[in-house]
Amino acid sequence: MENVSELQVEKTPIPGLLVVRIPVHEDSRGWFKENWQRTKMAALGLPDFGPVQNNVSFNSTRGTTRGIHAEPWDKYVSVASGAVFGAWVDLREGPTFGTVYSTTINPSVAVYVPRGVGNAFQTLEDATAYSYLVNDHWSAEATGEYTFLNLADPASPIPWPIALDSAEVEMSDKDRSHPELSGVVPMPPRKVLVLGANGQVGRALRKHAEAHGRTDLDFLTRAECDLWDGHCFDGIRWSAYRAVINAAAFTAVDGAETDEGRTRAWAVNAAAMARLAQVAAEHRVTVLGFSSDYVFDGETEVHTEDEPLSPLGVYGQSKAAGDVALQSVPQHYIVRTSWVIGEGANFVRTMKNLCERGVRPEVVDDQVGRLSFAQDLAAVALHLLDGDAPFGVYNVSSSGDPVSWADIAADVFASVGGNRDAIRPVTTSQYFEGRDGVAPRPAHSTFDLSKIRATGFEPADWRLRLDEYLRA
Protein backbone atom coordinates (compact mmCIF):
# COMPACT_ATOMS: atom_id res chain seq x y z
CA MET A 1 0.00 0.00 0.00
CA GLU A 2 1.46 3.31 -1.12
CA ASN A 3 0.86 6.15 1.28
CA VAL A 4 1.00 9.93 1.07
CA SER A 5 1.65 12.46 3.79
CA GLU A 6 -1.04 14.89 2.60
CA LEU A 7 -4.44 14.48 0.98
CA GLN A 8 -4.26 14.74 -2.83
CA VAL A 9 -6.87 14.90 -5.60
CA GLU A 10 -5.76 14.00 -9.15
CA LYS A 11 -7.51 14.35 -12.49
CA THR A 12 -7.77 11.48 -14.99
CA PRO A 13 -8.32 11.27 -18.78
CA ILE A 14 -12.06 10.91 -18.06
CA PRO A 15 -13.49 14.37 -17.26
CA GLY A 16 -14.77 14.52 -13.71
CA LEU A 17 -13.30 11.16 -12.69
CA LEU A 18 -10.92 11.95 -9.83
CA VAL A 19 -8.41 9.87 -7.90
CA VAL A 20 -8.08 10.70 -4.21
CA ARG A 21 -4.87 9.77 -2.39
CA ILE A 22 -5.51 9.54 1.33
CA PRO A 23 -3.00 9.60 4.20
CA VAL A 24 -3.24 6.36 6.20
CA HIS A 25 -1.97 6.39 9.77
CA GLU A 26 -0.59 3.00 10.84
CA ASP A 27 0.75 1.54 14.07
CA SER A 28 0.92 -1.83 15.75
CA ARG A 29 -2.86 -1.84 16.25
CA GLY A 30 -3.72 -1.31 12.58
CA TRP A 31 -4.50 1.82 10.58
CA PHE A 32 -6.80 4.85 10.44
CA LYS A 33 -7.81 7.18 7.61
CA GLU A 34 -10.27 9.97 6.95
CA ASN A 35 -11.99 8.21 4.07
CA TRP A 36 -14.42 11.05 3.33
CA GLN A 37 -13.56 14.52 4.55
CA ARG A 38 -15.94 16.99 2.94
CA THR A 39 -14.17 20.25 3.75
CA LYS A 40 -10.63 19.18 2.85
CA MET A 41 -11.64 17.29 -0.28
CA ALA A 42 -13.91 20.04 -1.61
CA ALA A 43 -11.07 22.53 -1.13
CA LEU A 44 -8.91 20.34 -3.40
CA GLY A 45 -11.52 20.18 -6.17
CA LEU A 46 -13.62 17.15 -5.30
CA PRO A 47 -17.30 18.02 -5.89
CA ASP A 48 -19.33 18.52 -2.75
CA PHE A 49 -21.69 15.89 -4.10
CA GLY A 50 -23.95 15.38 -1.07
CA PRO A 51 -23.87 11.61 -0.41
CA VAL A 52 -27.07 10.17 1.06
CA GLN A 53 -26.25 6.45 1.23
CA ASN A 54 -23.23 4.27 2.01
CA ASN A 55 -23.08 0.75 0.54
CA VAL A 56 -20.53 -2.02 1.18
CA SER A 57 -19.89 -4.98 -1.11
CA PHE A 58 -17.99 -7.75 0.69
CA ASN A 59 -16.11 -10.08 -1.64
CA SER A 60 -14.92 -13.38 -0.17
CA THR A 61 -12.30 -14.35 -2.72
CA ARG A 62 -9.69 -12.82 -4.97
CA GLY A 63 -10.82 -12.56 -8.60
CA THR A 64 -14.39 -11.44 -7.95
CA THR A 65 -15.24 -9.13 -10.85
CA ARG A 66 -18.20 -6.75 -11.06
CA GLY A 67 -19.41 -4.17 -13.64
CA ILE A 68 -19.27 -2.22 -15.96
CA HIS A 69 -22.27 -0.20 -14.72
CA ALA A 70 -22.93 3.51 -15.33
CA GLU A 71 -25.55 4.86 -12.97
CA PRO A 72 -27.56 8.11 -12.89
CA TRP A 73 -25.81 9.44 -9.77
CA ASP A 74 -22.33 10.26 -8.52
CA LYS A 75 -20.41 7.99 -6.20
CA TYR A 76 -17.20 7.80 -4.22
CA VAL A 77 -15.57 4.36 -4.16
CA SER A 78 -12.94 3.00 -1.78
CA VAL A 79 -12.05 -0.13 0.18
CA ALA A 80 -12.31 -0.74 3.90
CA SER A 81 -10.11 -3.82 3.66
CA GLY A 82 -8.20 -5.60 0.91
CA ALA A 83 -7.60 -4.14 -2.55
CA VAL A 84 -9.25 -3.99 -5.96
CA PHE A 85 -8.28 -3.18 -9.49
CA GLY A 86 -10.74 -0.50 -10.53
CA ALA A 87 -11.71 0.25 -14.13
CA TRP A 88 -13.86 3.06 -15.53
CA VAL A 89 -15.23 3.78 -19.01
CA ASP A 90 -16.87 7.04 -19.97
CA LEU A 91 -20.36 6.12 -21.20
CA ARG A 92 -21.70 9.67 -21.38
CA GLU A 93 -22.60 11.52 -24.55
CA GLY A 94 -19.65 13.52 -25.81
CA PRO A 95 -16.14 13.39 -27.25
CA THR A 96 -14.69 11.25 -24.44
CA PHE A 97 -17.26 8.45 -24.88
CA GLY A 98 -15.39 5.13 -24.55
CA THR A 99 -12.33 6.56 -22.75
CA VAL A 100 -10.86 4.07 -20.28
CA TYR A 101 -9.01 4.61 -16.99
CA SER A 102 -7.86 2.07 -14.44
CA THR A 103 -5.95 2.04 -11.16
CA THR A 104 -5.56 -0.01 -7.99
CA ILE A 105 -7.66 0.95 -5.00
CA ASN A 106 -6.33 0.11 -1.55
CA PRO A 107 -6.95 1.88 1.78
CA SER A 108 -4.84 4.85 0.63
CA VAL A 109 -6.72 5.40 -2.66
CA ALA A 110 -10.33 6.33 -3.43
CA VAL A 111 -12.02 7.40 -6.67
CA TYR A 112 -14.82 9.88 -7.32
CA VAL A 113 -17.03 8.60 -10.16
CA PRO A 114 -19.40 11.09 -11.84
CA ARG A 115 -22.81 10.19 -13.18
CA GLY A 116 -22.66 8.24 -16.44
CA VAL A 117 -19.13 6.87 -16.06
CA GLY A 118 -19.11 3.07 -16.10
CA ASN A 119 -17.61 1.52 -12.97
CA ALA A 120 -16.09 -1.94 -12.53
CA PHE A 121 -13.67 -3.67 -10.18
CA GLN A 122 -11.79 -6.91 -9.68
CA THR A 123 -10.69 -7.97 -6.21
CA LEU A 124 -6.97 -8.54 -5.73
CA GLU A 125 -7.21 -10.04 -2.23
CA ASP A 126 -9.55 -12.34 -0.34
CA ALA A 127 -11.99 -10.71 2.09
CA THR A 128 -12.10 -7.37 0.31
CA ALA A 129 -14.71 -4.88 1.50
CA TYR A 130 -15.56 -2.47 -1.31
CA SER A 131 -17.39 0.65 -0.10
CA TYR A 132 -19.17 3.40 -1.99
CA LEU A 133 -21.03 6.57 -1.13
CA VAL A 134 -23.82 7.65 -3.51
CA ASN A 135 -25.75 10.91 -3.71
CA ASP A 136 -29.16 9.49 -4.57
CA HIS A 137 -31.29 6.69 -3.23
CA TRP A 138 -31.83 3.65 -5.40
CA SER A 139 -35.26 3.47 -6.99
CA ALA A 140 -36.84 1.07 -9.47
CA GLU A 141 -37.60 4.04 -11.72
CA ALA A 142 -33.93 5.03 -11.83
CA THR A 143 -32.79 1.61 -13.08
CA GLY A 144 -34.17 2.48 -16.49
CA GLU A 145 -31.43 5.09 -16.79
CA TYR A 146 -28.55 2.66 -16.13
CA THR A 147 -26.05 2.07 -18.92
CA PHE A 148 -23.92 -1.07 -19.13
CA LEU A 149 -20.81 -2.21 -21.00
CA ASN A 150 -19.31 -5.67 -21.47
CA LEU A 151 -16.31 -6.30 -19.24
CA ALA A 152 -14.40 -7.76 -22.20
CA ASP A 153 -15.31 -5.07 -24.74
CA PRO A 154 -12.55 -5.01 -27.39
CA ALA A 155 -13.14 -1.33 -28.24
CA SER A 156 -12.43 -0.34 -24.63
CA PRO A 157 -9.71 -2.77 -23.58
CA ILE A 158 -9.13 -3.01 -19.84
CA PRO A 159 -5.88 -4.59 -18.57
CA TRP A 160 -7.48 -6.94 -16.05
CA PRO A 161 -4.81 -8.30 -13.66
CA ILE A 162 -6.59 -11.66 -13.69
CA ALA A 163 -7.76 -12.72 -17.13
CA LEU A 164 -11.54 -12.78 -17.39
CA ASP A 165 -11.46 -16.36 -18.74
CA SER A 166 -9.39 -17.55 -15.75
CA ALA A 167 -10.90 -20.11 -13.38
CA GLU A 168 -10.02 -17.69 -10.59
CA VAL A 169 -12.49 -15.10 -11.83
CA GLU A 170 -16.06 -15.07 -10.55
CA MET A 171 -18.60 -12.86 -12.30
CA SER A 172 -22.34 -12.89 -12.86
CA ASP A 173 -23.99 -14.07 -16.05
CA LYS A 174 -25.63 -10.68 -16.32
CA ASP A 175 -22.26 -8.90 -16.34
CA ARG A 176 -20.98 -11.31 -18.97
CA SER A 177 -23.91 -10.52 -21.28
CA HIS A 178 -23.76 -6.72 -21.33
CA PRO A 179 -23.39 -5.12 -24.81
CA GLU A 180 -20.13 -4.03 -26.39
CA LEU A 181 -19.45 -0.32 -26.89
CA SER A 182 -20.99 -0.26 -30.37
CA GLY A 183 -24.31 -1.29 -28.85
CA VAL A 184 -24.27 1.08 -25.88
CA VAL A 185 -26.66 4.02 -25.87
CA PRO A 186 -24.64 6.87 -24.28
CA MET A 187 -26.08 8.34 -21.12
CA PRO A 188 -27.39 11.83 -21.89
CA PRO A 189 -26.59 14.71 -19.55
CA ARG A 190 -29.07 15.75 -16.92
CA LYS A 191 -31.58 18.26 -18.23
CA VAL A 192 -32.84 21.72 -17.34
CA LEU A 193 -36.46 21.97 -16.19
CA VAL A 194 -38.39 25.12 -17.11
CA LEU A 195 -41.43 26.12 -15.05
CA GLY A 196 -43.88 28.59 -16.57
CA ALA A 197 -43.35 27.40 -20.12
CA ASN A 198 -46.17 29.51 -21.60
CA GLY A 199 -45.10 32.83 -20.12
CA GLN A 200 -43.08 35.42 -22.03
CA VAL A 201 -39.71 34.10 -20.85
CA GLY A 202 -40.84 30.47 -20.98
CA ARG A 203 -41.83 30.83 -24.64
CA ALA A 204 -38.54 32.55 -25.39
CA LEU A 205 -36.65 29.67 -23.77
CA ARG A 206 -38.56 27.20 -25.92
CA LYS A 207 -37.75 29.18 -29.07
CA HIS A 208 -34.09 29.46 -28.04
CA ALA A 209 -33.88 25.70 -27.50
CA GLU A 210 -35.47 24.98 -30.88
CA ALA A 211 -33.24 27.47 -32.70
CA HIS A 212 -30.08 25.98 -31.18
CA GLY A 213 -31.08 22.34 -31.49
CA ARG A 214 -31.11 21.84 -27.72
CA THR A 215 -32.95 18.79 -26.44
CA ASP A 216 -31.82 19.15 -22.84
CA LEU A 217 -34.69 21.39 -21.74
CA ASP A 218 -38.00 20.08 -20.42
CA PHE A 219 -40.95 22.45 -20.15
CA LEU A 220 -43.87 22.48 -17.73
CA THR A 221 -46.82 24.83 -18.22
CA ARG A 222 -48.97 26.19 -15.41
CA ALA A 223 -51.50 23.46 -16.21
CA GLU A 224 -48.81 20.87 -15.54
CA CYS A 225 -47.23 22.57 -12.52
CA ASP A 226 -49.20 25.44 -11.01
CA LEU A 227 -47.16 27.17 -8.31
CA TRP A 228 -50.42 28.00 -6.53
CA ASP A 229 -50.68 24.27 -5.78
CA GLY A 230 -48.66 23.29 -2.72
CA HIS A 231 -48.01 19.86 -4.27
CA CYS A 232 -46.80 21.21 -7.61
CA PHE A 233 -43.31 19.76 -7.20
CA ASP A 234 -44.44 16.29 -6.08
CA GLY A 235 -43.81 13.62 -8.66
CA ILE A 236 -41.01 15.44 -10.48
CA ARG A 237 -37.96 13.18 -10.63
CA TRP A 238 -35.42 15.80 -9.66
CA SER A 239 -32.42 13.52 -10.10
CA ALA A 240 -32.99 13.81 -13.86
CA TYR A 241 -32.27 17.56 -13.74
CA ARG A 242 -29.14 19.59 -13.17
CA ALA A 243 -31.04 22.87 -12.98
CA VAL A 244 -34.50 24.37 -12.80
CA ILE A 245 -35.50 27.71 -14.30
CA ASN A 246 -38.53 29.32 -12.72
CA ALA A 247 -40.15 31.48 -15.39
CA ALA A 248 -43.51 31.47 -13.62
CA ALA A 249 -44.80 34.25 -11.39
CA PHE A 250 -47.89 36.17 -10.31
CA THR A 251 -47.26 39.45 -12.18
CA ALA A 252 -50.53 41.37 -11.81
CA VAL A 253 -48.99 44.34 -10.03
CA ASP A 254 -52.28 46.08 -9.25
CA GLY A 255 -54.14 42.80 -8.80
CA ALA A 256 -51.75 41.93 -5.98
CA GLU A 257 -53.22 44.81 -3.98
CA THR A 258 -56.60 43.05 -3.73
CA ASP A 259 -57.42 40.52 -1.03
CA GLU A 260 -57.43 37.58 -3.45
CA GLY A 261 -54.45 38.89 -5.39
CA ARG A 262 -52.40 39.38 -2.24
CA THR A 263 -52.93 35.75 -1.31
CA ARG A 264 -51.99 34.54 -4.76
CA ALA A 265 -48.95 36.78 -5.05
CA TRP A 266 -47.52 35.51 -1.78
CA ALA A 267 -48.37 31.89 -2.59
CA VAL A 268 -46.79 31.91 -6.06
CA ASN A 269 -43.95 34.41 -5.69
CA ALA A 270 -42.86 33.63 -2.14
CA ALA A 271 -44.21 30.39 -0.63
CA ALA A 272 -43.68 28.38 -3.82
CA MET A 273 -40.11 29.70 -4.05
CA ALA A 274 -39.45 28.57 -0.49
CA ARG A 275 -40.63 25.06 -1.44
CA LEU A 276 -38.59 25.14 -4.63
CA ALA A 277 -35.54 26.17 -2.63
CA GLN A 278 -35.99 23.19 -0.32
CA VAL A 279 -36.32 20.79 -3.24
CA ALA A 280 -33.35 22.26 -5.11
CA ALA A 281 -31.09 22.14 -2.05
CA GLU A 282 -32.12 18.57 -1.24
CA HIS A 283 -31.41 17.31 -4.74
CA ARG A 284 -28.37 19.53 -5.43
CA VAL A 285 -30.16 21.17 -8.36
CA THR A 286 -29.10 24.63 -9.49
CA VAL A 287 -32.05 27.01 -9.37
CA LEU A 288 -32.44 30.11 -11.53
CA GLY A 289 -35.25 32.53 -10.79
CA PHE A 290 -36.32 35.85 -12.30
CA SER A 291 -36.69 38.87 -10.05
CA SER A 292 -38.02 42.37 -10.64
CA ASP A 293 -37.21 46.05 -10.36
CA TYR A 294 -40.23 46.19 -8.04
CA VAL A 295 -38.10 44.80 -5.18
CA PHE A 296 -36.71 48.36 -4.91
CA ASP A 297 -38.48 51.60 -4.00
CA GLY A 298 -36.94 53.35 -7.01
CA GLU A 299 -35.29 56.13 -5.03
CA THR A 300 -31.83 55.10 -6.32
CA GLU A 301 -31.33 56.10 -9.96
CA VAL A 302 -29.18 53.05 -10.87
CA HIS A 303 -29.61 49.78 -9.00
CA THR A 304 -26.71 47.44 -8.23
CA GLU A 305 -26.98 43.79 -7.20
CA ASP A 306 -26.08 44.49 -3.58
CA GLU A 307 -28.65 47.26 -3.02
CA PRO A 308 -30.85 46.46 0.00
CA LEU A 309 -34.36 45.31 -0.88
CA SER A 310 -37.02 48.02 -0.38
CA PRO A 311 -40.29 46.99 -2.10
CA LEU A 312 -43.22 49.38 -2.03
CA GLY A 313 -46.21 47.20 -2.90
CA VAL A 314 -47.46 43.64 -2.42
CA TYR A 315 -46.11 42.39 -5.74
CA GLY A 316 -42.63 43.72 -5.00
CA GLN A 317 -42.77 42.42 -1.43
CA SER A 318 -43.72 38.92 -2.56
CA LYS A 319 -40.96 38.91 -5.20
CA ALA A 320 -38.41 40.10 -2.65
CA ALA A 321 -39.45 37.30 -0.29
CA GLY A 322 -39.02 34.80 -3.14
CA ASP A 323 -35.55 36.15 -3.85
CA VAL A 324 -34.53 35.67 -0.23
CA ALA A 325 -35.84 32.09 -0.31
CA LEU A 326 -33.94 31.18 -3.48
CA GLN A 327 -30.74 32.68 -2.11
CA SER A 328 -30.77 29.95 0.54
CA VAL A 329 -29.94 27.41 -2.18
CA PRO A 330 -26.16 26.93 -2.39
CA GLN A 331 -26.32 26.85 -6.21
CA HIS A 332 -28.57 29.71 -7.25
CA TYR A 333 -28.86 32.45 -9.83
CA ILE A 334 -31.35 35.30 -9.55
CA VAL A 335 -31.80 37.32 -12.74
CA ARG A 336 -33.24 40.70 -11.74
CA THR A 337 -34.92 42.39 -14.66
CA SER A 338 -37.41 45.11 -15.65
CA TRP A 339 -40.06 46.03 -18.21
CA VAL A 340 -40.18 42.62 -19.91
CA ILE A 341 -41.27 42.38 -23.55
CA GLY A 342 -41.95 39.05 -25.25
CA GLU A 343 -44.79 37.03 -26.78
CA GLY A 344 -48.18 37.85 -25.34
CA ALA A 345 -49.73 40.99 -23.89
CA ASN A 346 -47.22 43.71 -23.02
CA PHE A 347 -46.69 47.47 -23.18
CA VAL A 348 -45.17 47.55 -26.68
CA ARG A 349 -48.01 45.54 -28.19
CA THR A 350 -50.54 47.74 -26.46
CA MET A 351 -48.97 50.93 -27.84
CA LYS A 352 -48.79 49.44 -31.33
CA ASN A 353 -52.48 48.53 -31.22
CA LEU A 354 -53.42 51.99 -29.94
CA CYS A 355 -51.43 53.61 -32.76
CA GLU A 356 -53.16 51.46 -35.36
CA ARG A 357 -56.54 52.45 -33.91
CA GLY A 358 -55.66 56.16 -33.97
CA VAL A 359 -55.77 56.56 -30.17
CA ARG A 360 -53.73 59.31 -28.50
CA PRO A 361 -52.86 57.70 -25.15
CA GLU A 362 -51.66 59.22 -21.92
CA VAL A 363 -48.38 57.57 -20.88
CA VAL A 364 -46.36 58.23 -17.72
CA ASP A 365 -43.10 60.08 -18.14
CA ASP A 366 -41.72 60.03 -14.58
CA GLN A 367 -40.81 56.32 -14.42
CA VAL A 368 -37.41 55.72 -15.98
CA GLY A 369 -35.68 52.50 -17.00
CA ARG A 370 -34.91 50.15 -19.89
CA LEU A 371 -36.87 47.46 -21.67
CA SER A 372 -35.83 43.82 -21.25
CA PHE A 373 -36.61 41.44 -24.09
CA ALA A 374 -37.59 37.89 -23.27
CA GLN A 375 -35.25 36.45 -25.90
CA ASP A 376 -32.29 38.01 -24.10
CA LEU A 377 -33.50 36.81 -20.70
CA ALA A 378 -33.72 33.29 -22.10
CA ALA A 379 -30.21 33.58 -23.53
CA VAL A 380 -28.75 34.94 -20.31
CA ALA A 381 -30.39 32.19 -18.24
CA LEU A 382 -28.71 29.48 -20.30
CA HIS A 383 -25.48 31.50 -20.44
CA LEU A 384 -25.34 31.41 -16.64
CA LEU A 385 -26.33 27.76 -16.32
CA ASP A 386 -23.94 26.56 -19.03
CA GLY A 387 -20.97 28.70 -17.97
CA ASP A 388 -18.83 29.15 -14.91
CA ALA A 389 -20.22 32.44 -13.59
CA PRO A 390 -20.30 32.62 -9.78
CA PHE A 391 -23.67 31.93 -8.21
CA GLY A 392 -25.63 34.95 -7.05
CA VAL A 393 -27.78 37.85 -8.22
CA TYR A 394 -27.36 39.43 -11.68
CA ASN A 395 -29.06 42.54 -13.03
CA VAL A 396 -30.15 42.02 -16.62
CA SER A 397 -31.99 44.35 -18.98
CA SER A 398 -31.31 45.66 -22.44
CA SER A 399 -28.56 48.25 -22.67
CA GLY A 400 -28.90 51.79 -23.97
CA ASP A 401 -30.06 55.08 -22.53
CA PRO A 402 -32.63 54.93 -19.73
CA VAL A 403 -35.92 56.49 -20.84
CA SER A 404 -39.49 56.89 -19.64
CA TRP A 405 -42.52 54.85 -20.66
CA ALA A 406 -43.69 57.86 -22.64
CA ASP A 407 -40.43 57.91 -24.60
CA ILE A 408 -40.81 54.23 -25.46
CA ALA A 409 -44.42 54.74 -26.50
CA ALA A 410 -43.36 57.58 -28.81
CA ASP A 411 -40.71 55.32 -30.38
CA VAL A 412 -43.30 52.62 -30.96
CA PHE A 413 -45.71 55.06 -32.62
CA ALA A 414 -42.97 56.42 -34.86
CA SER A 415 -41.79 52.90 -35.82
CA VAL A 416 -45.22 51.74 -36.94
CA GLY A 417 -46.03 54.85 -38.96
CA GLY A 418 -47.69 56.96 -36.30
CA ASN A 419 -46.91 60.39 -34.89
CA ARG A 420 -44.65 60.73 -31.85
CA ASP A 421 -46.69 63.74 -30.78
CA ALA A 422 -49.74 61.50 -30.35
CA ILE A 423 -48.30 60.43 -26.98
CA ARG A 424 -49.51 62.64 -24.14
CA PRO A 425 -46.97 62.53 -21.28
CA VAL A 426 -48.37 62.58 -17.74
CA THR A 427 -47.04 61.95 -14.25
CA THR A 428 -47.77 58.68 -12.46
CA SER A 429 -50.05 60.46 -9.99
CA GLN A 430 -51.97 62.09 -12.84
CA TYR A 431 -52.32 58.81 -14.71
CA PHE A 432 -53.80 56.96 -11.72
CA GLU A 433 -55.80 59.85 -10.29
CA GLY A 434 -59.17 58.67 -9.03
CA ARG A 435 -58.34 54.97 -9.35
CA ASP A 436 -58.46 52.60 -6.36
CA GLY A 437 -56.21 49.62 -5.70
CA VAL A 438 -53.23 50.96 -7.64
CA ALA A 439 -49.84 49.58 -6.64
CA PRO A 440 -46.97 52.01 -6.07
CA ARG A 441 -44.39 52.02 -8.88
CA PRO A 442 -40.63 52.57 -8.54
CA ALA A 443 -39.62 55.83 -10.21
CA HIS A 444 -36.22 54.49 -11.26
CA SER A 445 -35.77 50.99 -12.69
CA THR A 446 -32.38 51.31 -14.36
CA PHE A 447 -29.86 48.55 -13.60
CA ASP A 448 -26.08 48.60 -13.45
CA LEU A 449 -25.13 45.87 -15.97
CA SER A 450 -21.42 45.58 -15.21
CA LYS A 451 -21.72 42.29 -13.29
CA ILE A 452 -23.47 40.39 -16.08
CA ARG A 453 -21.06 41.90 -18.61
CA ALA A 454 -18.15 40.53 -16.57
CA THR A 455 -19.46 37.00 -17.28
CA GLY A 456 -19.09 37.56 -21.03
CA PHE A 457 -22.72 38.41 -21.78
CA GLU A 458 -23.30 41.72 -23.57
CA PRO A 459 -26.91 42.95 -23.40
CA ALA A 460 -28.31 44.26 -26.68
CA ASP A 461 -29.44 47.88 -27.01
CA TRP A 462 -33.15 48.18 -26.30
CA ARG A 463 -33.77 50.33 -29.40
CA LEU A 464 -32.26 47.64 -31.63
CA ARG A 465 -34.39 44.97 -29.98
CA LEU A 466 -37.50 47.16 -30.17
CA ASP A 467 -37.02 47.68 -33.90
CA GLU A 468 -36.58 43.91 -34.42
CA TYR A 469 -39.62 43.19 -32.28
CA LEU A 470 -41.89 45.56 -34.21
CA ARG A 471 -40.71 44.24 -37.57
CA ALA A 472 -41.24 40.59 -36.65
Active site residues: 69, 132
Transcribe 412-438 into DSSP letters: HHHHTT--GGG-EEE-HHHHTTT-SSP
Cβ atoms of residues 168 and 162 within 8 Å: yes
Number of C-beta neighbours around residue 238 at 10 A? 17
Cβ atoms of residues 204 and 375 within 8 Å: yes
61: three-class secondary structure by DSSP: coil
Instruction: Write the CA distances from 172 to 66, 128, 155, 175, 389, integer angstroms.
Output: 8, 18, 21, 5, 45
30: three-class secondary structure by DSSP: strand
Q: What is the largest CA-CA distance in the chain?
A: 95
> DSSP label at 29?
T
Query: Phi and psi dihedrals of 150, rounded to 5?
Result: -65, 135
Instruction: Write the CA distances from 165 to 67, 162, 168, 202, integer angstroms.
Output: 15, 8, 8, 55
Instruction: Write the CA distances from 65 to 94, 101, 156, integer angstroms.
Output: 28, 16, 17
> DSSP label at 370?
-
Q: How far apart are the first and last CA of the chain?
A: 68
Contacts (Cβ under 8 Å, ≥6 apart) of 220: 193, 194, 195, 196, 197
Cβ atoms of residues 192 and 385 within 8 Å: yes
Cβ atoms of residues 70 and 117 within 8 Å: yes
Torsion of CA 434, 440, 446, 447, to 10 degrees: -160
Query: Phi and psi dihedrals of 252, rounded to 5?
Result: -75, 90
- Burial group, residue 460, by CB count within 10 angstroms (0-12, 13-18, 19+): middle
Distance from C-alpha of 123 to C-alpha of 115, rounded to nearest angstrom? 23
Name the residue among 149, 157, 147 with its Cα closest to residue 180.
149
H or E stretch including 278?
helix 272-283
The one-letter amino acid at 201 = V
No. of H helices and E strands in the chain?
A: 12, 27
Dihedral angle sign, alpha carbons of residues 243, 237, 38, 42: negative
